[in-house]
């Protein structure tokens, strides 16, 4: 038992050089003090108390603990300094006592010795006398000053503990546990590696009685922690990510200090801790206030608005009024100190250490990290609840640090409407404070209060803790809002060197021999994704294999499923890459060029197949094909390329039509064939293929135009055409026909008989095809040169081609105006005729009517004919019905009559226009009813001032109009 262990000896041999004087002074001392340190930190701390109680007043324990801990820190760094050591040597001469043996010294001093015996592992101050000496002179040799709470100072002589059995084992043990904290010097790593190797070899032998050892051993044998976890950076300086980003993140976090910790802090984590100690009271009030605020529904709002106006308080319960008092002071103030952007958004490809940075930075600034990641349910409501919990509550268990919320993988799981809701909720929380506060200031009325109380279920909480969001793709649609509001940091790839250095370091820690070249290749392959690198290495290590070049290229090392952008794909097709910088991956056996080609082919095939969107790829290739310069004198290659594209298109068309999607497999082949034909070494100019899309849009616009035109045609003409016929048979001829050049631009009255006929025909055609001239506000797009009315529907658009001069003559502006006028008139005339004919037929049907009544009714129908409301035959019918019923009732008829003028007034113009025009115009056909003729025999002349619409105020008697 007393015999030193093998490991112990070895360790001592190692330690010989660094600590010569220690060794000289006392070998035991060195070991013992190490022992103290780690037994304290790693082992049974509750059991510290009993021995202390036995030899000094209870409070001393606490004192000692305090004086003890600072001593440990310098110790770890300046192990060689004996002077330091000696000062606490006496005090800390304690040892770990194993189960089955007893210290010889115990009997000497301790009233508590029986207890110690039973204890599993205890610290025993190995003091010479039973009571500490009052005077320093009483003690020879080493001593330890002890101050009691009452202020008495005593000195305890320290005797060297002779025998510290088993302590070495625990040294190893604890070193192994703590080594990755970055506390060790180089030499220790070597030692550790050896230890580890030994342990691996003889893990069955070590199972004995040492619990702690055993635990960790089995763990290392069975579940070795992932290297990614094991070697993840623990402190800020170890971070692998870009320095600049790190600092930015840290600075942002620091901006919260004022809000979270109250005072302005500039500091290290120690300072932060100190600040924490200083500020717990404020936290406590905040906490209680928040709790109350939540329990009383309107709490926080009440609190916030409390300072603004009392009038709202009557809405809230007493409780909220109480809470108001306590919160106003604490809750309102810190919110103003929050940084401009309340949310930090870290984005970048996977494996660069975004999450690690967030955690490390948050911890560095003294926050407790609350992580919400993709594995959690993240719909709006739960997310909101979680964030609120995190920012408002505080953990009850020991950890007093404030929370910092890290929402990991925010883009991944947040697809769709749910995701949108969640982001909205997050933003609402983040920016609620500012908006609400500003909104409250000037709005006091009831409505606002109602709104506020309605809103408060969702927006009560304001964010008072930092929130860090992490995502891969900052341009995910769900994140659009967030991107604008948050502070965004994009991670860039660390340099390969940096990654390789770290990998090498870790490999050396793990004692895994691997060449730098292989590591570089690995880092290259994974695009500096350190997580993937480490996982790969660990996997290989487990398999006891070494990494070589071949592995990296082959499937042993998993390739990330890399999604490449469409531009990359087109680039790959159209650009011939130079043979890859010397590293001829996997061309085993075959000649260089040949193997290269095959590899290239396979790689491209995979790339294309993985990209998947062949239509887009084809379009891109098609659009960019003509920009490439390649040797092709008689356009043979171009023909082949286009044919291949056509083949590809036909194939996909067939696949879609017959739902035979297995055919898609062959799609990459077409593109590869094209590549063989046209790929050039220089970088091609490329642009996104917009032409086809644009073509589709424009075409559908034209198609819609055609359809709407068809609908405006009269049925008789409509049935003769299909939309396509219109476009390619009719339009251009129609445009010609619609613009007879012989027609003089004069008023219709001045036209000769034949000209009038021609014009009438033209009007007839226009009506049949539903076309008219209309004045547009700003001329239809680029027809700016055309003044006055233009054709509507704008069918001239259908013959407008790029670089093509339209030859269709246009009528003069005045003529167009005249025409538009005439067409409208003609339409109205026809309608009125149709209605008159209908009315006549109805009238003739009414057999038993008295002449007067019939006349009256006809008159009324005539007077109201221009009225829009009277278009349909049904009203007319109803009207005649009613008039038939009440034909004896003269008053009703009179009322109808009196109504008529007012109706007329709305459309007076049209009516007058008809009359006016009619006078100057020869009656074209004899279809007019005698009613019209009768009316025309008593014309009304008036002057029309253009541009002044409601100008006619002339009192007109109905009698005159009849």
Partner 1 sequence: MLWVDKYRPHALDKVMVHVEEAQQLKQLVAQGDCPHLLFYGPSGAGKKTLIIALLREMYGAGAEKIKVENKPWKIEAGTRKLEVELTTISSNYHVELNPSDAGFQDRYVVQEIIKEMAKSRPLDVAGNKSFKVLVLNEVDRLSKEAQHSLRRTMEKYSSACRLILCCNSASKVIEAVRSRCLNIRISAPSKEEIVKVLQHVAKKEGLQLPLGFAARIALSSNRNLRRAILSLEACKVHQYPFTEDQSVQSADWEQYIVEIASDIVNEQSPKRLFLVRGKLYELLVNCIPPEIVLKRLLLELMKKLDSELKHEVCHWAAYYEHRMQRGQKAIFHLEAFVAKFMSIYKRFLIATFG
| Chain positions contacting partner 1, by CB under 8 A | 622, 625-626, 632-636, 638-639, 642-643, 645-646, 649-650, 653-654, 657, 691-692, 695, 698-699, 702-703, 706-707, 710-711, 715-720, 722-725, 727-734, 736-737, 739-742, 761, 764-765, 768-769, 798-804, 806-808
3-class secondary structure, 721: coil
Q: Which is nearer to partner 1, 278 or 733 (CB)?
A: 733
- Strand segments (E) across 819-935: none
* Cα distance between residue 286 and residue 391, in whole Å: 11
For the chain, what is the largest distance between any 2 Cα atoms, rounded to a whole number of angstroms? Answer: 149
Q: How far is the CB of 832 from partner 1 (least distance, A)?
A: 20
Q: Which is nearer to partner 1, 50 or 740 (CB)?
A: 740
Q: How far is the CB of 668 from partner 1 (least distance, A)?
A: 18
Cα–Cα separations (whole angstroms), residue 108 to 48, 100, 113, 549: 20, 19, 9, 68
Q: Which is nearer to partner 1, 250 or 731 (CB)?
A: 731
Q: Which is nearer to partner 1, 55 or 622 (CB)?
A: 622
Q: How far is the CB of 866 from partner 1 (least distance, A)?
A: 23
Q: Name 489's bridge partners.
A: 346
H/E element holding 303? helix 299-306
Spatial contact of 535 and 501, defined as CB atoms under 8 Å apart: no
Q: How far is the CB of 798 from partner 1 (least distance, A)?
A: 6
**Ramachandran area for residue 188 (φ above 0: left; ψ -120 to 50: alpha; else beta):** alpha
Q: How far is the CB of 665 from partner 1 (least distance, A)?
A: 19
Residue 687 makes CB contacts below 8 A (sequence gap 6+) with 623, 624
Spatial contact of 357 and 494, defined as CB atoms under 8 Å apart: no
Q: Which is nearer to partner 1, 549 or 566 (CB)?
A: 566
Q: Which is nearer to partner 1, 476 or 705 (CB)?
A: 705
Q: How far is the CB of 643 from partner 1 (least distance, A)?
A: 6
951 Cα distance to chain centroid: 61
Tell me how crowded residue 209 is: count the other CB atoms within 10 A of its CB. 10
Q: How far is the CB of 624 from partner 1 (least distance, A)?
A: 11
* Cα distance between residue 174 and residue 35, in whole Å: 9
Q: Which is nearer to partner 1, 200 or 768 (CB)?
A: 768
Residue 460 DSSP label: -
Query: Closest Cα to residue 253, out of 377, 425, 402, 386?
Result: 402
Q: How far is the CB of 639 from partner 1 (least distance, A)?
A: 5
DSSP string, 40-75: HHHS-GGGGHHHHHHHS-HHHHHHHHHHHHHHHHHH
Q: How far is the CB of 771 from partner 1 (least distance, A)?
A: 11
129 Cα distance to chain centroid: 71
Spatial contact of 506 and 475, defined as CB atoms under 8 Å apart: no
Spatial contact of 472 and 348, defined as CB atoms under 8 Å apart: yes
Q: Which is nearer to partner 1, 266 or 633 (CB)?
A: 633
Q: How far is the CB of 596 from partner 1 (least distance, A)?
A: 29
Spatial contact of 621 and 628, defined as CB atoms under 8 Å apart: no
Beta pairing class for 153-157 and 143-147: antiparallel
Q: How far is the CB of 763 from partner 1 (least distance, A)?
A: 11
Q: How far is the CB of 762 from partner 1 (least distance, A)?
A: 9
* Cα distance between residue 490 and residue 248, in whole Å: 11
Termini Cα distance of the chain:
136
Query: Closest Cα to residue 497, out of 513, 519, 512?
Result: 519
Q: Which is nearer to partner 1, 383 or 766 (CB)?
A: 766
Q: Which is nearer to partner 1, 633 or 844 (CB)?
A: 633
Q: How far is the CB of 653 from partner 1 (least distance, A)?
A: 5
Residue 943 makes CB contacts below 8 A (sequence gap 6+) with none
Residue 680 makes CB contacts below 8 A (sequence gap 6+) with 574, 575, 576, 628, 629, 630
Q: How far is the CB of 765 from partner 1 (least distance, A)?
A: 6
Query: Closest Cα to residue 922, out of 803, 782, 751, 692?
Result: 751
3-class secondary structure, 347: strand
H/E element holding 481? helix 480-485
Q: Which is nearer to partner 1, 76 or 680 (CB)?
A: 680
Q: Which is nearer to partner 1, 653 or 878 (CB)?
A: 653
Q: How far is the CB of 506 from partner 1 (least distance, A)?
A: 54
Q: Which is nearer to partner 1, 168 or 727 (CB)?
A: 727
Which pair of structure tokens corresponds to residue 898?
A: 């009196």
- Strand segments (E) across 118-262: 143-147, 153-157
Q: How far is the CB of 633 from partner 1 (least distance, A)?
A: 8
What counts of helices (H) and strands (E) characterise the chain?
A: 44, 9
* Cα distance between residue 580 and residue 577, in whole Å: 8
- Report angle CA 675, 679, 682 to the nearest 5 degrees: 155
Query: Closest Cα to residue 384, out of 458, 291, 469?
Result: 458
Q: Which is nearer to partner 1, 318 or 634 (CB)?
A: 634
Q: Which is nearer to partner 1, 1 or 716 (CB)?
A: 716
Q: Which is nearer to partner 1, 41 or 636 (CB)?
A: 636
Q: How far is the CB of 725 from partner 1 (least distance, A)?
A: 6
Q: Which is nearer to partner 1, 277 or 802 (CB)?
A: 802
Rounded-to-5 percentages of helix, strand, coil across the chain: 60, 5, 35
* Cα distance between residue 329 and residue 312, in whole Å: 18
Q: Which is nearer to partner 1, 467 or 645 (CB)?
A: 645
The reply to whether omega before 793 is within 30° of 0 (cis) is yes
475-484 b/e (C-beta count within 10 Å ≥ 16 → b): ebebbeebbe
Q: How far is the CB of 719 from partner 1 (least distance, A)?
A: 5
């Amino acid at each position: 038992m007393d015999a030193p262990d093998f490991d112990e000896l070895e360790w001592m041999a190692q330690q010989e050089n660094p600590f010569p004087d220690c060794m000289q002074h006392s070998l035991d001392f060195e070991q013992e003090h190490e022992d103290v340190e780690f037994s304290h930190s790693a082992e049974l701390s509750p059991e510290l108390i009993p021995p202390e109680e036995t030899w000094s007043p209870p409070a001393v324990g606490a004192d000692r603990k305090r004086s003890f801990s600072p001593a440990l820190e310098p110790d770890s760094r300046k192990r060689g300094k004996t002077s330091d050591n000696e000062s606490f040597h006496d005090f800390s001469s304690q040892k770990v006592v194993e189960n089955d043996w007893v210290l010889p010294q115990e009997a000497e001093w301790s009233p508590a010795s029986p207890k110690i015996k039973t204890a599993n592992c205890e610290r025993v101050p190995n003091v010479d006398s039973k009571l500490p000496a009052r005077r320093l002179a009483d003690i020879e040799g080493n001593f330890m000053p002890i101050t009691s709470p009452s202020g008495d100072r005593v000195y305890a002589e320290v005797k060297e503990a002779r025998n510290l059995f088993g302590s070495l084992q625990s040294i190893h043990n604890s070193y192994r546990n703590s080594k990755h904290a970055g506390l060790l010097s180089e030499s220790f790593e070597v030692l550790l590696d050896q230890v580890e190797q030994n342990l691996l070899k003889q893990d069955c032998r070590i199972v004995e009685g040492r619990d702690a050892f055993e635990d960790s051993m089995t763990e290392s044998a069975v579940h070795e922690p992932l290297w990614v976890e094991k070697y993840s950076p623990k402190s800020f300086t170890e971070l692998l990510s870009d320095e600049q980003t790190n600092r930015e993140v840290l600075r942002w976090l620091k901006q919260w200090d004022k809000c979270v910790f109250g005072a302005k802090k500039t500091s290290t984590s120690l300072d932060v801790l100190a600040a924490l100690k200083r500020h717990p009271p404020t936290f406590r009030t905040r906490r209680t206030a928040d709790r109350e605020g939540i329990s009383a529904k309107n709490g926080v709002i009440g609190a916030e608005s409390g300072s603004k106006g009392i009038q709202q308080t009557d809405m809230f319960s007493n409780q909220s009024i109480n809470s108001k008092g306590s919160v106003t002071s604490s809750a309102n103030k810190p919110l103003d100190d929050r940084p401009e952007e309340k949310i930090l958004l870290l984005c970048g490809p996977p494996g660069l250490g975004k999450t690690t940075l967030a955690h490390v930075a948050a911890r560095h600034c003294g926050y407790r990290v609350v992580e919400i990641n993709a594995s959690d349910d993240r719909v709006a409501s739960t997310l909101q609840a979680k964030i609120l919990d995190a920012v408002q509550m505080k953990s009850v268990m020991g950890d007093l640090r404030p929370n910092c919320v890290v929402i990991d993988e925010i883009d991944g799981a947040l697809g769709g409407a749910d995701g949108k809701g969640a982001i909205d909720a997050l933003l609402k929380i983040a920016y609620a404070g500012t908006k609400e506060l500003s909104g409250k200031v000037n709005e006091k009325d009831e409505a606002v209060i109602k709104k506020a109380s309605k809103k408060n279920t969702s927006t009560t909480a304001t964010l008072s803790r930092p929130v860090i969001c992490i995502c891969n793709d900052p341009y995910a649609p769900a994140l659009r809002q967030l991107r604008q509001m948050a502070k965004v940091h994009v991670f860039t790839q660390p340099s390969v060197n940096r990654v390789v250095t770290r990998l090498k370091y870790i490999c050396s820690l793990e004692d895994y021999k691997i060449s730098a070249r292989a590591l570089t290749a690995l880092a290259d392959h994974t695009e500096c994704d350190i997580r993937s690198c480490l996982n790969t290495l660990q996997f290989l290590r487990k398999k006891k294999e070494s990494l070589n070049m071949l592995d990296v290229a082959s499937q042993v090392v998993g390739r990330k499923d890399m999604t490449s952008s469409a531009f990359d794909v087109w680039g790959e097709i159209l650009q011939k890459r130079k043979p890859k910088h010397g590293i001829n991956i996997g061309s085993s056996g075959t000649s260089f060029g040949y193997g290269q080609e095959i590899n290239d082919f396979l790689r491209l095939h995979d790339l294309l197949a993985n990209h998947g969107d062949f239509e887009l790829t084809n379009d891109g290739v098609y659009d960019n094909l003509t920009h490439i310069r390649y040797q092709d004198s008689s356009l043979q290659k171009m023909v082949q390329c286009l044919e291949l594209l056509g083949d590809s298109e036909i194939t996909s068309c067939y696949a879609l039509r017959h739902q035979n999607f297995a055919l898609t497999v062959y799609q990459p082949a077409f593109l590869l064939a094209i590549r063989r034909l046209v790929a050039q070494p220089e970088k091609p100019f490329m642009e996104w293929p917009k032409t086809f899309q644009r073509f589709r849009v424009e075409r559908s616009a034209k198609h819609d135009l055609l359809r709407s035109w068809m609908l405006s045609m009269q049925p008789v003409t409509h049935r003769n055409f299909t939309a396509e016929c219109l476009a390619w048979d009719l339009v251009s001829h129609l445009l010609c026909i619609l613009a007879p050049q012989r027609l003089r631009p004069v008023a219709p009255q001045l036209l000769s008989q034949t000209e009038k006929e021609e014009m009438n025909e033209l009007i007839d055609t226009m009506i049949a095809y539903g076309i008219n001239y209309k004045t547009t506000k700003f001329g239809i797009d680029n027809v700016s040169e055309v003044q006055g009315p233009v054709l509507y529907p704008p069918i001239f658009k259908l013959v407008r081609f790029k670089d093509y001069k339209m030859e269709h003559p246009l009528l003069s502006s005045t003529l167009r105006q005249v025409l538009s006028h005439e067409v409208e008139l003609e339409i109205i005339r026809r309608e009125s005729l149709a209605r008159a004919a209908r009315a006549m037929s109805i009238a003739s049907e009414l057999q038993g009517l008295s002449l007067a009544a019939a006349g009256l009714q006809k008159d009324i129908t005539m007077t109201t004919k221009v009225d829009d409301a009277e278009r349909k035959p049904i009203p007319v019918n109803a009207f005649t019905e009613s008039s038939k019923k009440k034909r004896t009732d003269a008053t009703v008829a009179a009322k109808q009559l009196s109504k008529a003028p007012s109706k007329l007034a709305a459309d007076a113009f049209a009516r007058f226009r008809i009359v006016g025009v009619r006078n100057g115009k020869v009656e074209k056909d004899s279809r007019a009813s005698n009613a019209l003729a009768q009316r025309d025999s008593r014309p009304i002349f008036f002057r029309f001032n253009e541009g002044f619409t409601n100008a006619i105020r002339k009192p007109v008697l109905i009698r005159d109009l009849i």
